[in-house]
Amino acid sequence: MHVANPRRGYLLGLSAYLMWGLVPLYFKAMASVPAIEIIVQRILWSALFGSLLLAVWKHPGWWRELVEHPRRFGTLTLSGLLIATNWTVYVWAINDGRMLEASLGYFINPLLNVLLGTLIGERLSRLQWLAVALAALGVLQQLWQVGSLPWVSLLLASTFAVYGLIRKRAPIAALPGLVVETWLLVPVALIWLALHPDAQSAHGSFWLEPKAYWLLCAGPLTLLPLLCFNAAARHLPYITLGFLQYLSPSIVLAMAVVVFHEQLDTTRLLTFLCIWAGLLIYSLDIALSMRKQR
């Protein structure tokens, strides 16, 4: 039986969101490669890297248990399609100069996590509801600033929120589940390559260029944060995991403004302050709760 370890969950969750916060730097380095082609290569190299990792970090009996419950293949297929959609939209947004829209998506995502968490029976304290209200106020400020339906942000938020809930509820360990869901996408990636012989990575000369080595890194850069996230989801309430996620878009927002010189006006700054105030209150409530338990 799985035993939750909140301390381990916090460390894993923070590690995942820190890596995701910095990953736009990688995609900017790959800006000359189309977003869909980056995703295809991410799938292929993630499948290979995940298999090697699974060979070293063994999980006895996981395949037998999966075969004995074939419906879980359907669950992992759905989660794989959701995360692939999320990847594609995110890479396209980063390379199309929409980093602030991408960060907004992951500011909205924790609020969806809260909603989904309450639907599966998780409960919030009064301080936590105050934290949610502050974060929601910040997001509403962002939505008002955008002035129209931010479909990029909403698509990123919804696909990742549902993906996280599926993986939290799926009765399969983090690493085997990741490897299987990635391999289920490999046929789709190979078909895409077959139908696009003019793709950059379809030519042998491409693999002699420096950017080819960046694509080789797609496997570990994809799997390591996802592995930390999925493992954290098994140790933490889904609502708590959602609030930790504010670390990632905050890093992306800061990079968008400081490194890539996207505009941060007063309204967006107010959004940032509201969300971090909510995160501070939520963290305080968690610390008080853990102190009482000790």
- Per-residue model confidence as pLDDT tens for the chain (294 residues): 456 777 888 888 899 989 988 888 887 888 788 888 888 888 898 899 888 888 887 778 888 888 888 888 999 999 999 988 998 898 888 888 888 888 878 877 877 777 787 777 777 778 878 887 887 787 777 677 666 667 888 899 899 889 988 887 888 877 888 889 999 999 999 999 889 888 887 777 777 777 778 888 888 888 888 888 878 887 887 777 777 877 888 888 888 888 887 777 777 678 778 877 877 787 787 777 767 766
pTM of structure:
0.76
Q: Please indicate, yes or no, if residue 109 is contained in any of the structural domains.
A: yes
Q: Please indicate, yes or no, if residue 281 is contained in any of the structural domains.
A: yes
Q: What is the DSSP track for 200-227?
A: GGGSGGGGGSHHHHHHHTHHHHHHHHHH
Q: What is the DSSP track for 69-91?
A: STHHHHHHHHHHHHHHHHHHHHH
Q: Please indicate, yes or no, if residue 154 is contained in any of the structural domains.
A: yes
Domain count, the chain: 1
Which amino acid is residue 54, in one-letter code?
Answer: L
Q: Please indicate, yes or no, if residue 254 is contained in any of the structural domains.
A: yes
Q: Please indicate, yes or no, if residue 1 is contained in any of the structural domains.
A: no
Domain, as residue range, for 269:
6-293
Q: Please indicate, yes or no, if residue 183 is contained in any of the structural domains.
A: yes
* Residue 254 φ then ψ, to 5°: -65, -40
Q: Please indicate, yes or no, if residue 16 is contained in any of the structural domains.
A: yes
Q: Please indicate, yes or no, if residue 166 is contained in any of the structural domains.
A: yes
Contact 179, 230 (CB under 8 A): no
